[in-house]
Amino acid sequence: MRLTSEFWVSALTKRLFAEGGFAAVAQRGAREAGTIFIVVRDRLGRLALYGPAAQASYDEARPMERRFTLVAQDDQERIDARLERERRFDPDFWVVEIELADAARAENYFEVTAD
């Protein structure tokens, strides 16, 4: 059984706060199965957008885990455009913004694959 999107986002934000990071839900999506996008910002102003990984990247041994792939990096306009395209396609998605001292540490909080 897969965790609901709402539960997964809640767990991510709580973990970040517990470890001294910051997280905010910028857009709430469907509670059960809304797509999740994550915007990562670091203290140097760098940012990255992660979105759901392609289905082909899921491990048969762990098919229900959420995986993410880098969608855009260091380009606010490109990130905004990607989220706007998603909004027109399916407005029921989540956007979680997290702030870390080092953006490279994002992979400590969610699984990232190379597509």
Higher-pLDDT residue of 67 and 38 is 38
pLDDT in tens, 6-62: 999 999 999 999 988 899 999 999 999 889 999 999 888 889 999 998 764 445 554
- What average pLDDT does the structure give for the chain? 86
Q: Where are the domains of the chain?
A: 5-112
Residue 103 pLDDT:
72
Q: Give the span between the Cα atoms of 75 and 55, in whole angstroms.
A: 26
Residue 63 pLDDT:
42
Provide the percentage of residues in the chain whose pLDDT is more than 90: 51
Residue 10 pLDDT:
95
39: Cα within 13 Å, side-chain hemisphere: 21
| CATH superfamily to which 5-112 belongs | Protein of unknown function (DUF1491) (3.40.1530.20)
* Residue 5, pLDDT above cutoff 90: yes
